[in-house]
Structure 1
Amino acid sequence: MDSHAASSTPGNDRIAWAMLMALTCGFALSQAYRTVAAIIAPPLQQEFGLTPEQLGLFAGAFHFAFGALQLFMGIGIDVWGPRRTVLAASPLTVVGALLAAGADGFGQLLLAQVVIGVGCAPAFLVCTVFIARRFAGERFAAVSGAVLGIGSVGLLLTGTPLAWLVEATSWRAGYLALAAGSLAAWLAIWWLVDEPPIPAGTPAPAGVLAALRGYGELFALRHTWGILVLATFTYASFLALRGLWLGPMLVERHGFTLVQAGHVALAVSVMGMLGPPLFGRLDPGEALRRRWLVGYTLLVAAMYAAMAFNRQAAVDVVVSIVMSLVAGYIVLQYADVRSAYPARMIGRAMAVFTMALFLGVALVQWLTGLVAAAAPAWQVETYQAVLGAIALMLALAAAGFRVLPGPARA
């Protein structure tokens, strides 16, 4: 594939990294919002009497809104640019966080999650487009991995710090703190980021209707479907644990306090920060990358199965931490998408891929909520059912990716 990036002098690199870090601040806050449920789920259940099914719907609402907006955010980036798109959408994160902080019922919580999801929708997509335009193609996996790792600071916020804040005050204070962080991130982007240059030879941006029609060309390519099948379940499996079930599992299955569960969530988040940069640098290239994706997906499925059928607290803690490092292989999916499409389709391809990632998170969190609610009737322990279901979904996704057609290579 061609290298569609700006010239890479040291001065340009420093400027590009400064802008990218500002954009990454917005991505870090989106990471915090998508994992906040893992810590505030117990107090929400106590205050509003939420069922497991409602809890899954609450956590999934953010990701459904986030994923559903990806195609439109991709169009916005193509037509108006990354900077304008993210500055227009991200104030909704502040609005949604304030709505959540003042919620007095389940319906208002759901509405707040949807509003936050819309506001966060361009957060990582603008980073990937910025990287594709500002950095050489051979650096894409490494730079994307670095951004995923740095952006995982947002996961740290929803570990011990959020657990301490919630236990000392209330879950509402957690949302107020996130609202303040979102406002600071918006100001950093407004102050520091310029629109990245459009690569030479790229056609002028089409109008909105033409851009929508352009997605048809993407879905007509047979290899798109295998990419989307795998994308729907890989990141979703990590977020199902870290973003929803980790806290309740440790509290209910093993009797942890909320702060103890927060410590585990913090450790999981730290390892999650290390994984993407590691795998970005280990990227084996087009010849082996797809085999790696299948192999690591099956490995993570086996880890979920181990947690499902072994109820010792030490096993759940250690496997969760190790799995968060291994989950860094997901960055190889971005590199796979980058190499599977020509330069003129990269923006749309990344938007569709990101849509699949986060609609997958919404789907898996909703489905695991249904599984958790049905587990007593099946006479199966709740978390054995949830973790086993995730393992099965991952195994089926790996099989689909392996069987469906891959991209033709030159």
Structure 2
Amino acid sequence: MTSSERDNIAAAWLMLLALTTAFALSQSYRTVAAIMAPRLQADFGLTAQALGLFAGAFHFAFGALQLFMGIGIDLYGVRRTVLAAFPLAIAGAVLSALSTNFPVLVAGQVLIGIGCAPAFLVCTVFIARRFPADRFASVSGLTLGIGSVGMLLTGTPLAWLIEASSWRTGFWALALCSALAWAVIFWRVREPAPTTPPVKVPVVAALRSYGALFGLPHTLGIVALACVTYAAFITLRGLWLGPLLIERHGFSLVQSGNVAVIVSVVGMFGPPLFGRLDPGPATRRRWIVGFTLVVAALFGAMAVTRAAWLDVGAAIAVGLASGYIVLQYADVKAAYPAHMTGRAMAVLTMAMFLGVAVMQWLTGVVASAAAAHGFNPFSAVLAQTIAALLLLGATAFAALPTPLPAMQT
């Protein structure tokens, strides 16, 4: 390897790390509800259903904008797309910190979701463009792991900050960190000048181009599973982990924050681990189905247990096992021809985060209904909702058409 090649690789890694700072902040924003939930419920009188709406608003906005962000990346590049969108996340955090009622709080979450929408997509596109194809899974897994540092902020540090001040201070701190991340991206990320002038495609025509992707028979199974895998982990870590430990086992806010940190730290190692263990296209899909069933079983165990150590242990195991989600990105890259990779990644990311929004909203509805009818709300959320949806997603992924062998590379 020549010195020029080494310099190019080093520069690519530095730019990827800069882009990952925005992704890390998006991880923080999507998991604040687990630690802020008790204080928000006290200040605004929120029901479990309203809490699910608060947590899901970010993910709905995030997921709904994925197709447009994919178009933006194709037309304007990674750097300009993330620099244009991310200030909305800062504005949303400020609005949330200043909110005096629940609708304004939800509006802040929507703004944050829009601002963070390109955060992980720009990383995957950058990796696909700047790193060798055979390193996609490993580099993506490492990026997911590094980005999970953002979830550490919403564990013990955020719990301490909220106990010492308020949940509003938490949003102010995240707004400041987001501004710093934007500055780092502006400073470090550069894109090579295009060899040919970019072709300006009308947005409607660009959206229609996704029709070819949805016309392929294996897309439905991929989307069905994508809607539930990441959603299961984030619904636990980002919404229900705090209430589960505080209300079921009497943990303090800081104690539940400590558990959240452990889950997040373990979750940091999962994606790089599975990225390195990627078995390749021949057996990758069987691994994906198998680990989906493992995670569903862990949620089922949490639903029936009443021991704190079992709930904590199962949550940590979910954090580690959920690293297999990186294999879904590798599966998508192998399932479509090269000219469809960007759109396919956008659709996968959209499905994952719209799935989070729906699952968090749905679990709030289920918890409220269960409590109203005298049933344990946590058991209903963990087993009848999350575990059941994981089983449905795995069944659809396994039973629906698979990619043609010619597409798998």
Is 1:103 aligned to residue 99 of structure 2? yes
Structure 1 contact 34–63 (Cα < 8 Å) conserved? yes
Give the aligned partner of residue 330 of structure 1. Answer: 325
- Answer whether contact 1:22 1:189 (CA < 8 A) is retained: yes
- Equivalent residue for 2:250, pick from 238, 251, 255: 255
1:286 to 273, 277, 281: 281
Displacement, 1:207? 3.9
Equivalence map 1:212-223=2 (5 Å): 212-223=207-218
Is contact 2:59-2:356 (8 Å) kept? yes
* One-letter amino acid of the counterpart of residue 351, structure 1: A
Counterpart among 291, 299, 303 of residue 296 in structure 1? 291
- The change in CA–CA distance for 1:201 and 1:309 in structure 2 (over 3 A counts) is farther
SS in 1 for 2:30: helix
Helix, strand or coil at the partner of 2:303 = helix
Q: Which residue of 1 aligns with 2:181?
A: 185
Matches within 5 A, 1:202-281: 206-281=201-276
Question: Shift of the alpha carbon at 1:202?
Answer: 12
Deviation at 1:323, TM superposition (A): 1.3
Task: Judge conservation of contact 2:155–2:259 (CA < 8 Å) in 1.
Answer: yes
Aligned partner letter, 1:397: G
Alignment: residue pair count: 403
- Tell me the amino acid that sits aligned with residue 362 of structure 1: A
Following superposition, the deviation at residue 376 of structure 1 comes to 2.1
* RMSD between superposed Cα atoms in Å: 1.6
1:138 equivalent in structure 2: 134
Deviation at 1:205, TM superposition (A): 6.4
Q: Which residue number in structure 2 is paired with residue 31 of structure 1? A: 27
In the alignment, is residue 120 of structure 1 matched against residue 124 of structure 2?
no
The correspondence for 1:155, drawn from 151, 174, 183, is 151
The DSSP-based 3-state class of the residue aligned with 1:16 is helix
Give every structure 1 segment of 4 or more consecutive aligned residues whose post-TM-superposition deviation is greater than 4 Å: 200-205
Q: Distance in 2 between matches of 1:202 and 1:283?
A: 37
Residue 75 of structure 2 contacts residue 198 of structure 2 at CA under 8 Å; is this kept in 1? Answer: no
**Would you say 1:307 and 2:302 are equivalent positions?**
yes
Q: Say yes or no: does 1:49 pair with 2:83.
A: no
Matching residue within 367, 382, 391 for 2:387: 391
State the distance in 1 between where 2:169 and 2:108 align.
15
- Structure 1 residue aligned with 2:5: 9
Where does residue 94 of structure 1 map in the other structure?
90
Aligned CA distance change for structure 1 residues 337 and 262 (closer, same or farther; 3 Å): same
Question: How many angstroms does 1:216 deviate by?
Answer: 0.7
Structure 1 residues 372-410: Cα deviation after superposition (integer angstroms, max 9, x where no partner): 001123432110111011011101110010001010012
TM-score (norm 1): 0.96
Shift, 1:203, TM fit: 9.2
Q: Shift in Å at residue 9 of structure 1?
A: 2.2
Q: Deviations over 1:70-91 (max 9, x none)?
A: 0000000011111110000000
Secondary structure of the residue aligned to 2:228 is helix
Code of the aligned partner of 1:45 = Q
Given the alignment of the two structures, is residue 373 of structure 1 paired with residue 368 of structure 2, yes or no?
A: yes
Residue ranges of structure 1 left out of the alignment (5+ in a row): 1-6
CA distance in 2, matches of 1:311, 1:370: 23
Aligned partners of 1:352 and 1:130: how far apart in 2? 16
Q: Which amino acid aligns with 1:385?
A: A
Does the C-alpha gap of structure 1 residues 234 and 205 become closer, same or farther in structure 2, counting only changes over 3 Å?
A: farther
Matched residue type, 1:180: L
TM-score by length of 2: 0.96
Q: 2:403 aligns with which of 403, 407, 410?
A: 407
Alignment partners' CA distance in 2, 1:373 and 1:105:
21
Give the letter aligned to residue 305 of structure 2.
N
Once the two structures are TM-superposed, the CA of residue 343 in structure 1 deviates from its matched residue by: 1.1
- Classify 1:205/1:342 alpha carbon distance in 2 versus 1 (closer, same or farther; 3 Å): farther
**Partner of 1:287: helix, strand, or coil?**
coil
